[in-house]
Amino acid sequence: MDIATIIGFAGTFGLIIMAMGNPGPFIDMPSVYIVVLGTATAVLIRSSIPEFVGAIGVVMKSIKHKEDKPEVLIEKLGELGTIARKDGMIALEGQEIPNPFLAKGIRMLVDGTDPSMIKSTLEREMSMIQQRNADGMAIIGSAQDIAPAMGMIGTLIGLVQMLGNMSDPKSIGPAMAVALLTTLYGAVIANVICIPLKQKLGALDLVESLNHQLIIEGVLFIQSGGNPRMLPDLLMPFVSPKARAKLEAAAS
């Protein structure tokens, strides 16, 4: 679980609520209907139901998904390479491999799949994951664009209601609340939720893609029968400079 996302959301909304003092006046159901539900239904216009549901799964990555560190993957590949070199590929069957992408590559090694087929299959899998991530981020980007527009629509609705009932003082307050709160809700959805989520998911997608490339190269190296001690040198470009010293010390 990515605790940074949870802390970020909790801290940001906590500060906003603290600034409000009493949050009661800032809760208005007509404004919620216009902005929140209106944004969701407007996003549905540009996407299909499966794409919309899939975007929810992509969003959950920012909270539930914890990407493996490259150095951890390299160490695991080294262990698997040592087993394969000593006891053969069949000895890799039944090994505990938490990373599903790596597990798929190792299963193909155990099955004796041709190297070109392993490479093409894993690259296609990586491409499809990237596409799903891109689709999810595109839907979040649509919500980012639509939410402020729905806020403006709500503002215009509130102003029309207010100007149309100036003779009734009791109606001015609720109409003004709709006019102002819809703009607030739209700004919060776009700037506090959608923009940070889209940026976070973009960063996660990059890390995930780099890890997948690392795994592909590592699996193909194991299949070729290479010396596992050479794996850290081969895969070192995927590791941050800070973590390289630790990896090099473990390899020596």
How large is the C-alpha radius of gyration of the chain? 26
- Tally of domains within the chain: 1
Reported as a single tens digit per residue, the pLDDT across 139-182 is: 999 999 999 999 999 888 888 877 777 777 776 777 777 788 88
Task: Report DSSP state, residue 33.
Answer: I
d(CA 187, CA 143): 11
Is 93 part of a structural domain of the chain?
no
**pLDDT of res. 126:** 95
Reported as a single tens digit per residue, the pLDDT across 43-81 is: 999 888 888 888 888 888 777 777 788 888 998 998 999
pLDDT, mean of residues 111-123: 93
Is 98 part of a structural domain of the chain?
no
Write out the two tokens for 33. 């209907």
Q: Among all chains, which residue has been given the structure tokens 């776009």? A: 190
Is 106 part of a structural domain of the chain?
no
Is 17 part of a structural domain of the chain?
yes
Least confident range of 46-55, 100-109, 111-120, 163-172: 163-172
Question: Which residue range forms the structural domain that includes residue 156?
Answer: 3-71+115-251
d(CA 15, CA 20): 9
Is 99 part of a structural domain of the chain?
no
Is 242 part of a structural domain of the chain?
yes
Is 55 part of a structural domain of the chain?
yes
Using 50, 70 and 90 to split pLDDT, how confident is the model at 9? confident
Residue 164 · residue 193 · CB < 8 Å:
no
Is 41 part of a structural domain of the chain?
yes
For 220-245, letters b (16+ CB in 10 Å) and e give bbbbeeeebeebbeebbebbeeebee
**pLDDT of res. 87:** 87
DSSP string, 87-120: H-GGGGTT-----HHHHHHHHHHHTT--HHHHHH
**pLDDT of res. 234:** 86
**pLDDT of res. 248:** 65
Using 50, 70 and 90 to split pLDDT, how confident is the model at 191? very high
From the centroid of its chain, how far is CA 160? 40
Q: Among all chains, which residue has been given the structure tokens 């629509």? A: 153
Task: Examine the pLDDT at 251 and tell me if it is beyond 60.
Answer: no
